[in-house]
Amino acid sequence: MMNRRAALAATVASTVLPLVATDVRAQSEYPNRPIRLLVGFPPGGGVDLTARPLLPHLQPRLGQPVVVENRPGANGNLAVDAACKAPADGYTLLVGNTGPLAANHALYRNLPFDTQRDLTPVAQLISTPLVLVVSPNLGVNSLRDLLAMARAKPDELNMGTGGNGGSPHLCLEAIKQREGLEIVHVPYRGSAPALQDLIGGRIQLMIDTYNLFRGAHEAGQVKVLAISSLQRHPSLPDVPTMDEAGLTGFESVGWVGLFAPAATPVPILDRLEEAVRGAMTGTDLPQTYLSQGGLPSFSGRAAFGAVVGRDRQRLGELIQKVGVRLD
């Protein structure tokens, strides 16, 4: 009996130890081939514009090509699903934002993945405050003016967004819940058509990231009333925060960050986190993000994970309260 047990143990060891050695060697040699960054939105969108400037800074730090692969569809869920099912070897990663990673679990009933279980945060890249803009023809000059008008004219103001369940829509719902307002939400198939209707006078206000409005703002076609972060944006020093402008303590800020499959080995996660840290310090990448309307906001795995978990709970509770569903 003892001889058989010894023989069995030897057989198991001879099988397992080479696999362990191979795994350790693969981690120590990481990366040795190109790395894909999945993006769940089309080229030119906010998440894509965050991912692409990162590439030339990651490549020299990792010693391998890093490429963006756009997989748009289902409010970011297609790319998230692919990332969740990818091998946990550090070669397929996700650049994702607040919607798919912290809100979609509450917006969709039957997702084939759980981002909290199947993905792990690697690093935050930017935070994404939203700005509230109105048509110059509306006749309001401040957020307080707009809130007073909304109270006096329930259901007469129309706010456009790029679709149901996105960060702008949820920001509007948070304001409506807090202030007891009746503002009509008008979802469009994308933010650009909504902006055209705002400029054309068919809707009266919008909430979205500033990079969407920059051209129209500079041309005097929209008026920026407030920003949703608790700090003013360096590119908009004269625009008050919503907290300053009448919504005391209000904050609604999204983020974009790097994620990996949950079982990715810690040494690989460490390598990726340090590469992003290097890209965000001592380079022109933060200035690029500022010019696009984002706030450079690097944080590592632990701190970013806490942010993702907090927003997942906060947005889940808001979505349940207002009854928004996308399936």
Task: State the architecture of 131-227 in CATH terms.
Answer: 3-Layer(aba) Sandwich (3.40)
The structure's pTM equals 0.85
Q: What digits encode the pLDDT tens for the residues 155-193? A: 999 999 988 888 999 999 999 999 999 999 999 888 889
Residue 74: its pLDDT value, please? 87
Measured CA to CA in angstroms, residue 52 lies from 129, 273, 285 at distances of 20, 17, 11
Q: What digits encode the pLDDT tens for the residues 255-288? A: 999 999 999 999 999 999 999 999 999 899 999 9
The pLDDT confidence band at residue 23, using thresholds 50, 70 and 90, is low
The pLDDT confidence band at residue 139, using thresholds 50, 70 and 90, is very high
Domain ranges of the chain: 35-128+254-322, 131-227
Give the lowest-confidence range in 4-18, 140-154, 208-222.
4-18
CATH of domain 35-128+254-322: 3.40.190.150
Residue 21: its pLDDT value, please? 46
Check pLDDT > 80 for residue 10. no
Measured CA to CA in angstroms, residue 97 lies from 41, 51, 115, 162, 296 at distances of 10, 11, 12, 15, 14
